[in-house]
Amino acid sequence: MKNKKLWGGRFSESTSDITERISASVHYDKRLFRQDIEGSIAHAKMLSKTGILSGGEFNSIKDGLEQILKEIEDGSFVFDAGLEDIHMNIEAKLTERIGDTGKKLHTARSRNDQVALDLRLYIKEESTGIEERLKALVALLTDFAESHIDVLLPGYTHMQVAQPVRLGHHMLVYSWQLLRDLKRLNQVSEACDILPLGAGALAGVNYPIDREFVRKELGFKGITMNSMDTVSDRDFVLDFLYFAAVLGMHLSRFCEELVLWSSSEFGFIRLSDRVTTGSSIMPQKRNPDVAELIRGKSGRLYGNLLSLLTTLKGLPLTYNRDLQEDKEPLFDSVDTVKLCLDGIYEMISSVKINEERMKDALYSNFSTATDLADYLVKKGVPFRESHKTVGEIVGYSEKNRIPFFDIPLEALKNFSPHFSDDVRDILNPESSTERKESAGGTSRKEILKQISAIKKILS
């Protein structure tokens, strides 16, 4: 029979070529080899503890698996697509190496609970590396905000100049977004921290196994309580894909601003040559390709989440082969998230700020109009009336081509008798941020509070 399938006892015909090709997953799930071998050693150790395997059999299995691990790591292991997946490849090679003892490894487990174990271990491990990247990026952004706390620029709504803000305040937005992403990632790790091994194919197993022993060996916090739920559940994968999609959205928004700010129209920043590219036809170009590609990769992160949601939505209990389609979206999202975080870190660590262009932009579009309205409110004018008055002043400035920030006091008094000499400081956008007295605002003292809070969270 073709490739001597480990499950082929009841079959009399070989599988067709299309069955072979559509069933094969080892070309991508082989990245689970470490988790598969780690889980198999823990499982064999438990079988030995409960008397299902002898001590000698366990040692033989353990030595054989460790040898296979080394061969996969050094690239000498040959994977066989005909054996379908990483689990069968490892088990077949083990049996070839140590004989019939290798055939005992799969006692009291199924590929169904085995792959659930591998995926949980994989996400836990990858989440640790992603967490380190997230924390490093938050620290970088927070340090950047602190070192540029006195740089001013316009804040925008509807892509129109709105009010003056400090650059540090603007950059800390992304620190807070990433901290929320970090919280979601921690929830992913928590969801994965439940041992599935021992559920069998769907109903449990016919042996006196010790799931608590395996739990402790593999460092899980708990064990699953329903065997049918265990093998059909991929919520923990969805949790990771959702985390990745939201993170991708945050990074995409960040990159959109980097693209805009590095344009000649804004000129707020200059991205390093290390993260920009040239044009095949236009010699002058410095294209923000890294930012654009990270922005674009948010789409594949969204797609990976939607892909698995769609796969799962119509599946009856319990295990169905459709679940094999969970891995490629997961692996792609893991790789994409790490790549994007590394790219953002590289851009921010080497970016140059054009403080003068940011300062000039403060004077471009009535950025202290709200300050002027609030000035009148403090003089006793109802806000709606002051709003109307300042709107008329803006119209006067536009119509007469008089810079809003330089309107003479005599002209202002034509709109309201409440204006006096102190209005000049109110019109100045460079003093605006320190009038923001509310907690969480863009004043220097409030930004320092944010920085202190973020550093405390990171520590």
In angstroms, rounded to a whole number, what is the distance separating the alpha carbons of residues 352 and 78?
Answer: 49
- Amino acid in position 65: L
Residue 390: how many CB atoms within 10 A of its CB? Answer: 24
- State yes or no: is 280 an active-site residue: no
- Per-residue burial over 336-357, b = 16 or more CB atoms within 10 Å of its CB, e = otherwise: bbeebbebbeebbeebebbeee
Rg (CA), the chain: 31
224 and 199 Cβ atoms separated by less than 8 Å: yes
240 is written with which tokens?
Answer: 């990771």
The 3-state DSSP class for residue 270 equals: strand
Catalytic site residue from 158, 264, 438, 459: 158
**C-alpha to C-alpha distance for 391 and 372, rounded to whole angstroms:** 10
Of 147, 279, 364, 452, which residue is the catalytic one? Answer: 279
Positive/negative CA dihedral, 75, 81, 87, 89:
negative
Burial class (CB in 10 A: 0-12, 13-18, 19+), 173: middle
DSSP notation for 4-24? G-TTGGG--SPPPHHHHHHH-
Query: Nearest CA to 358 among 173, 144, 140, 170?
Result: 170
Catalytic site includes residue 60: no
Main-chain phi, psi angles of 173, to 5 degrees:
-55, -45
Structure tokens given for 173: 């937005």
Exposure string of 196-232, with b = 16+ CB inside 10 Å and e = fewer, is bbbbbbbebbeeebbbeebbebbebeebbeebbebbb
- Which residues are catalytically annotated? 158, 279
